[in-house]
Amino acid sequence: MNENFAIGGCPADKQLFTGSGNCDVQKGYIKTLLVTKQNAKYEVPADGNLDAVIKEAVGLPFSHPNKMWIVSDIITNGAPEGGDNITSSAGERGGSHVVGQNPMSVTYSVKHSMCKQAAMLKFKGLNVRVMEIDENKKVFGIAEDVNGTRYLKGYKANLWVSITPATASADALINVMVAHDVNYFTEEQPYESNAIIETAPKALQSAQLVKTGVGRAKLLSPCSSEDLGAIFGSLLDKTAFIAKSGIDFDVTFDATTSEYLFTTTFDVPIPNIDEFKLAPVADLYALNVLDIEGIDAYVSLDSTPTAERKAQLVKSATGVATIAAIGLPAMNVGEVLGDKLTKEAFVAKTAADFTVTFDSATNAYTFMTTDAVPVALADEVKLADKSVLLGLGIIGIVGDGVFVNLA
C-alpha cells in the first residue's frame, strides 16, 4: 500500500477535541485595552496573574520596547466589521468555495473629554499590538512559548481614533478602532490565550510640578490645571519625587495651600541649581497612587538658601575622617551625603593627587594617595569651596576653610 495514502483525504497527525469542562474561559465584554509596541511581549508568571507585569510595563520609559499604555473605562464594544469569508468559484462546477477571510476591525468607545481627546488622538494611525481585558478581569492576547517560558503579547493592529459629537440624548464619545492584521485569522486567532488580573488598571493622566514659591510647588494637570495635590495630598512623600542632582531632600504637604514644600536635610530651601519631577509610575504605584504619570521634565524650584551650616573634617584614624556639621543639632554629614562627596569635594593642601572612598558602615571617608597609601604626614585636607560643592549638587553646607592633618 502507498504509505502516503490518506484515508478520507484528511491529515491524521493531530487529535481534535471540541468539548470543554466547567472551568473553561469565555471572553466577556471588553472594558480595557492594553496598547503596546509591535515587538512587546510579557512573561506570564506561574500563577497567571499579570498585575505586577502591567504595573511595571506602564511605568517603563517611552523608549523601552515593552512600554504599555492603558485605555480604560470602555463603555461601548462595537460589533466587529469585516471578517467575512472571501469566496471564489474558480475551478468549481457551478459552486464556490472559501479562500480566506477579509480583515476585521472592532471599535471601542470611551467617554469624551478634551484632555483625553488630545492624548488619544496621538494613537491615530499607529501600528501597535493590543491586549484586551474583559469585565471578568481576564487578559486576552496571543500566547507564545519560548524554550518553555510562556509569554503573552497583543494582537497586531492599526489604531484609528475618531470623535462622535454629543447629541441632545447622548454624550460625546472617543472611538478607538482596532483594525486587526490581515493575518489575524490564520496567525493569531488559533493561538489566542489569556491570563488574569486582580485589579483593573486605570488610564493615567499627566501631572506636573508647578512652582508657586521658594522651594514650593503645586501638582497640577498640565491639560486641565486640576489641582492633583488636593486629591493625593500627603500620599505623595519624598519617594514620589526625584531631584535632578541626586541630593537628599524632604517633602511635606501643606494642606492649607495644597502645596508641596521641598527642603534639604539641612532644612534650607532648594537653590536654583536643583530641579524636581515626579518619580516613575512604579514608585507612585507603591504609594497606592494609581491615576497619574509625571511629565518627563524637571521643574526648577529656584531659590537662594536662607541658611547654611558649616562643616569640618574630623580625623578618626590615619588617612580617615568623618565630616561633622558645626553647631546644633549635631550631624554626621557623611550619614546624609555618603558617596555624593567624591574626590572633587575635597582639596589637598599640597595638591597631591589622591582618591576618596566612603565607608557606609562608619560614615567615614578614607583618603589615599595614588600609590594606595595613607595621605602623607605633610598633607592636609579640607572641604572644597562652596561653588564646587554646589556644582556637585551638595546644598546646604559649606566647608569651614580649615585644613585638617590626617597623619
CA–centroid distance for 134 within its chain: 24
| pLDDT the model gives residue 268 | 52
Q: Is the dihedral of CA 46, 51, 56, 57 positive or negative?
A: positive
| pLDDT the model gives residue 145 | 92
Determine how many CB atoms are found less than 10 A away from the CB of residue 237. Answer: 13
Strands in 241-243's sheet, in edge-to-edge order, are 241-243, 275-278, 299-300
Q: Could you tell me the three cell numbers for 67?
A: 512600554
Among 121, 298, 71, 116, smallest CA distance to 224 is for 116
3-class DSSP state for residue 6? coil
Beta bridge partners, 158, equal 127, 179
Write the burial class of residue 129 (CB in 10 Å: 0-12 exposed, 13-18 middle, 19+ buried).
buried
Write the burial class of residue 170 (CB in 10 Å: 0-12 exposed, 13-18 middle, 19+ buried).
exposed
Q: Is the dihedral of CA 216, 222, 225, 229 positive or negative?
A: negative
| pLDDT the model gives residue 6 | 46
| pLDDT the model gives residue 214 | 76
Domain boundaries, the chain: 26-81+100-196, 205-300, 309-405
Residues contacting 12, CB < 8 A, separation 6+:
6
How many angstroms separate the Cα of 248 from the Cα of each of 60, 66, 142, 293?
24, 31, 45, 22
Spatial separation of the C-alpha atoms in residues 378 and 346, rounded to whole Å: 16
Spatial separation of the C-alpha atoms in residues 116 and 125, rounded to whole Å: 17
Among 53, 86, 83, 91, smallest CA distance to 201 is for 53
E strands, 214-306, are 216-220, 241-243, 249-254, 259-264, 275-278, 292-294, 299-300
Q: How many helices (H) and strands (E) does the chain have?
A: 6, 31
In the numeric block, the cell 447629541 is attached to 167
Q: Along the 407 residues of the chain, how does pLDDT read in single tens digits?
A: 444 444 455 555 566 777 777 778 889 999 999 999 999 999 999 999 999 999 999 988 888 999 999 999 999 998 889 877 777 777 656 677 777 788 899 999 999 999 899 999 999 999 999 999 999 999 999 999 999 999 999 999 999 999 999 999 999 999 999 999 999 998 999 999 999 999 889 999 999 999 998 788 999 998 888 999 999 999 999 999 998 877 778 899 999 999 999 886 655 554 445 789 999 888 998 899 988 999 988 998 865 444 567 889 999 998 899 998 887 566 788 887 888 889 999 998 876 788 899 998 999 999 887 665 554 444 789 999 988 887 777 777 788 999 998 87
| Residues, the chain | 407
The identity of residue 333, as a single letter, is V
Spatial separation of the C-alpha atoms in residues 162 and 173, rounded to whole Å: 8
Measured in degrees and rounded to the nearest 5, phi and psi for residue 342 equal -90, -175
| pLDDT the model gives residue 9 | 53
| pLDDT the model gives residue 215 | 83
Beta bridge partners, 77, equal 108
Among 377, 243, 406, smallest CA distance to 316 is for 406
pTM reported for the whole predicted model = 0.69
Q: Could you tell me the three cell numbers for 96?
A: 464556490
